[in-house]
Amino acid sequence: MIILHPTAGTHEFDAVPKLVEAWQEMLQKLTDFMLFTPPTGRERSRAELSAIEELKAWGRDRRDIRYYNPLTMAPPAGSAVQNVHWGALPTSFDQDPRFGGDRNKIFEFLDAPQDDVDDNGDPVKSRQQDEYCEWVVQTSGGKIRRVIFTSEPALFYQFLFDPAAVIQGIDPTAPDPNVDRNASRSLLVEIYRNRTGDATVNLADLLDGRGNYTSFNRWNNDFAVHLQQTNNTLGAEVNIAVRSSLLRAKGGTGPLKQDAADLIDCGAYGVAARQSDPAIGAAVNSFARRNEFLTLADPVGLYMTGLDTTGWSAPNGADPRSFWTVRAGHGDPDPEKAMIVRAEFAVDPASGFTVSDIKIGGIPIQFGGQIADGIGMRLGALVGPVSSLPAPRPIGCVRETIPAHLQPQVAAAGPRRISMPRRGRS
């Protein structure tokens, strides 16, 4: 039975036998990895411990976490989706001295891929839009023709390239899901062709020099097929949700931390400068503080909720809203339900004008960020009613020294050697 469906509930995976099941298996492994982490491999800091490991380091145990894996525990009766919302336009650069608060300079920066490195450490140009929504601006004759937005995780595509490698990268002991790799790679190419509208895409275009799938392939660079910014990953989403469900208090006792900035600083999950990570962490923690069991709502993903075009004006009295098209996932007038992972704002060249001729509050669109400012984002958590179990006990912060009286009698809290994918990247 499928409980965890592919992002946005798309049916593209249906084309390859066992792919949907393998995706579920992968999500389960990913969740368990964040919760438990198999204890072998490289040395880790306390910030890299799994949630249960961190609880144990503070003398707590699995009774003190309210995040659960929906494949190993049925959602409590009465569970309902509660969303966390944020804006698609990054605010991390609002006070960056490089831009002096000049919004046009920030927009210009956000539209242009910047120097970065890929997972191999090789130099690449990467999008810097850091709110789980990325975009590319396509121009013609100096005018904006189309702006493409995506919130599809890279993991979706990495998984298509090699389902077994992704699953076994998380859990080396996991069995091969027996997905026909050639078929899934054909689907990968097919989806790329669909997203780019270009039938010439082939598999070799999507690979790096080592023959591995790379998020920095030219088609993704040019068409924003999926997220590529370092921290915009599904793994980060799961990690933040799991880690922020731990209750925190100074020294592991006393008043519970509630402030979003305090929590993210204390729990060392996600990126504090973003809107999304602290907001997700604070919301998840508030559910756990109320002793409510939670998990990420199916289908797990980071979704655009829509575009607000109030006050926009287009030539010839055209409705600016008509230029917004959802290309993957689905839109909904209710932002609590919308599940958009790909959309574009584009003007048909035959109309006689371009996106650049559309104005927002009297100001012509010059940058993709101006449009992104009107896009909402959400993540859904499935939250149960208040549990009858004893309330979970808090732990301290990852950088705190654990008081001797809280340390476990047997297991040492120190680092161990384990093998694990990097948290924060999918």
Partner 1 sequence: MIGESVLAVDDIQGMIAPGYRKPKQNLLHFRIADFASVRRWLGSLTLTSARRTQEQHGRFKQLAALLGHEPRDFDAVFQACALSANGLRQLMGDKAVADFADMPFKAGLAERSGILGDPATGAGSPAQWVVGGDNPVDVMLVVAGDDETRLEAATQALLDAAATNGLSNIHIDRGRERVGEEAGHEQFGFKDGVSRPALRGRNSDAQDDFFEPREANAPDYGGSNGLPFAAPGRPLLWPGQILFGYDEQDLNSPDRPAPSTVHTGPSWAKNGSFLVFRRLRQNVDAFNGFLDKTAQSLNEQGWKPPLTAEKVGAILVGRWRSGAPIMVSPGQDGGEAFVTNDFGFAQARTIDFPSGPIAQPEDLDGAVCPRAAHIRKVNPRDLTTDRGPAVRTLVRLPLRRGITYDLAQTGSPGAGVDNDKGLLFLAFHRSIEFSFEFLMTHWVRQSDAPEGDAGHDPILSSGTGRFIKLHNNGNEFRVPIPGGWVLPTGGEYFFMPGRSFFQNLDAIA
- Specify whether the CB–CB gap between 415 and 45 falls below 8 A: yes
Is 372 a binder of partner 1 (CB under 8 A)?
no
Q: List residues bridging with 67 in a β-sheet.
A: 294
Distance in angstroms (rounded) separating the CA atoms of residues 163 and 119:
18
Q: Is 340 in the site for partner 1 (CB under 8 A)?
A: no
Nearest-angstrom CA–CA distance, 354 and 140? 9
Q: How far is the CB of 200 from partner 1 (least distance, A)?
A: 40
Q: Can you tell me the distance from the alpha carbon of 54 to that of 48, in angstroms, rounded to the nearest whole number?
A: 9
Residue nearer to partner 1 on the CB measure, 157 or 312: 312
* Amino acid occupying residue 130: D
Residue 60 makes contact with partner 1 by CB under 8 A: no
Provide the H-helix boundaries in 7-111. 19-35, 51-57, 103-111
Interface with partner 1 includes 335 (CB under 8 A)?
yes
Q: Which region among 52-60, 102-110, 135-143, 193-201 touches partner 1 (by CB under 8 A)?
A: 102-110
CB-wise, 313 or 387, nearer to partner 1? 313
Q: Is the distance from CB of 325 to CB of 307 less than 8 angstroms? A: no
Q: Coil, helix or strand for 38?
A: coil
Q: Does 360 bind partner 1 (CB under 8 A)?
A: yes
Stretch that binds partner 1, among 173-181, 280-288, 347-355, 403-411 (CB under 8 A): 280-288
3-state secondary structure of 120: coil
Residue nearer to partner 1 on the CB measure, 227 or 307: 307
Q: Which two tokens stand for residue 34?
A: 């964040």
Nearer to partner 1, 118 or 262 (CB): 262
d(C-alpha 304, C-alpha 330), whole Å: 9
Tell me how far apart the alpha carbons of residues 239 and 229 are, in angstroms, rounded to a whole number: 17
Which residues, at least 6 apart from 196, have a Cβ–Cβ distance to it below 8 Å? 219, 222, 223, 225
Shortest gap between Cβ of 74 and partner 1 (angstroms)? 23
Q: Of 96 and 198, which has the nearer Cβ to partner 1?
A: 96
Q: Which helix (H) or strand (E) holds 135?
A: strand 134-140
Our CB check for partner 1 shows the closer of 142 and 362 to be 362
Helix (H) or strand (E) holding 304: strand 303-307
| Closer residue to partner 1, CB minimum distance, 279 or 347 | 279
CB of 153 vs partner 1, minimal distance in Å: 21
Counting residues that bind partner 1 (by CB under 8 A) gives 47
Q: Does 180 bind partner 1 (CB under 8 A)?
A: no
Shortest spacing between CB 79 and partner 1, in angstroms: 15
The nearer residue to partner 1, 349 or 364, going by C-beta atoms, is 364
- Token code pair at residue 353: 């004008």
Which listed range, 12-20, 218-226, 257-265, 322-330, lies at the site for partner 1 (CB under 8 A)? 257-265
| Closer residue to partner 1 in complex, CB, 72/322 | 322
3-state SS, residue 373: coil
CB of 408 to partner 1, least distance (A): 28
Q: Which is nearer to partner 1, 43 or 94 (CB)?
A: 94
Among 262, 318, 387, 400, binds partner 1 (CB under 8 A): 262
Residue 268 contacts residue 398 (beta carbons within 8 Å): yes
Residue range at the interface with partner 1 (CB under 8 A); choices 47-55, 191-199, 226-234, 357-365: 357-365
Query: Applying CB under 8 A, which of residues 31, 37, 82, 232 lies at the interface with partner 1?
Result: 82
Establish if 333 lies at the interface with partner 1 (CB under 8 A): yes
Site for partner 1 in 290-319 (CB under 8 A): 305, 308, 310-313
C-alpha radius of gyration, the chain, whole number = 22
Is 418 within 8 Å of 38 (Cβ atoms)?
Answer: yes
Nearer to partner 1, 199 or 261 (CB): 261
Choices 112-120, 200-208, 221-229, 281-289 (CB under 8 A): range interacting with partner 1: 281-289
Which span sits near partner 1 by CB under 8 A: 66-74, 91-99, 115-123, 347-355?
Answer: 91-99
The answer to whether 131 and 89 have CB atoms below 8 angstroms apart is: yes
Tell me: does residue 251 bind partner 1 (CB under 8 A).
no
> Where along the sequence are the contacts to partner 1 (CB under 8 A)?
82-87, 91, 94-95, 97, 100-104, 257-262, 264-265, 272-275, 278-279, 282-283, 286, 305, 308, 310-313, 333, 335-336, 360-363, 376, 378
